[in-house]
Structure 1
């Protein structure tokens, strides 16, 4: 099946919240950030969901922390791609560094591909937790099983309809009267506040996604063959790919441009 998806495909306009919801629902996990999927384990299991049994899950390390362990996961994924004739090259070096843009782009592609295969319908007979716990080494359950089970438990606690609701005990007031139903006015005020907060969050997410799309356009523009080797494009990518959020990469990018300019001037003088 063709796996090539153009840059302007609708897949790349899917937001990170939708991607995280898709992963958590399919794999019964509780990821809250795209970077948590940088190890490659999630990608391996999403292909296993799409092609049940195709991925040797005993080779997938859900507890991968080092680049070495992450690379091993991506090697497993690339081998499966080759066997399934999925024409997709995995940019491992970019993904294991946890860059949000790179990981989001890959997950967007993965969602588009998986949906095209299974029509967006989850295999009801697939048990993601059981598949994660299939691998056994020396009689010991693989790393990530207990962690996955804990994530699942957390996910179920916060998911509506995951269990029967337990009504909290009402605390007695000063006169021995319970505070349950104490003030409908307070409840209405709190409900209104929650609604306003949700609206604020929605607006912030839309604004964030808007600027993220702008940054993505800049990244794609800088990756054009005609511009990729230019100092300006390299400096812009320094800012985009800065790993430390506490420090601005602007000074480093400016210094790079300054040094490149000086080098060019020196070369021009030698030529003269």
Structure 2
């Protein structure tokens, strides 16, 4: 467990948040390309793809450092719903609509790893998780040669109950230590069947970022950052495991009343 503290950033608007998220992501990209010439990233659904599009598709200053090199991106899903890829609940569909279909051709096309569409039809969530784990293994090395995959960046949301990915409060999956990708068949939030990266995989990433906006998040943010009772919430467990590798990008309403110190710039 990390001994350092996460970084909490608060901005006046979602637009300003997106402006600040862009250099954070691109620094992570550039560091990854220097290490292994690919940028291995996992993303969640919800409002995150919209913020990502705003951050990454806005024209930059034209320098290589400020340019998304999408052709070298490998995009995985931090969690996914066990639905068809064109279903309205699909995180893949959401990312396609909000970001992937809008990337200019000159920036290249990322390699994207959706869930297995045929396995979805079989209604076997465990098989779906196993197949997705195999996809991760093909990119990161065989499971018997590395203990955990190390993503360059994982981008997360935080639910009003403190869940992240499809890791929910008080759930047995929070104690999963061996699997990289786990099946959830009874999610408290619909749809009930999902797959998710496990907590050890999330907290092993080189950089971890949450995006949380709106006044509806202020109570759970206060629980996560200020209360002893909130320490067992999934998002708080990511904070504890990742320490200063974790950065939260929020707007002012989301952290209204939160005592944990926040900053307005990176």
Structures share fold, TM-score greater than 0.5: no
Q: TM-score, normalization: structure 1? A: 0.22
Q: Which has the higher contact order (CA 8 A, sep 6+)?
A: 2
Structure with greater helix share of residues: 1
Q: TM-score, normalization: structure 2? A: 0.23
Structure with greater strand share of residues: 2
Between structure 1 and structure 2, the one with the greater Rg is 1
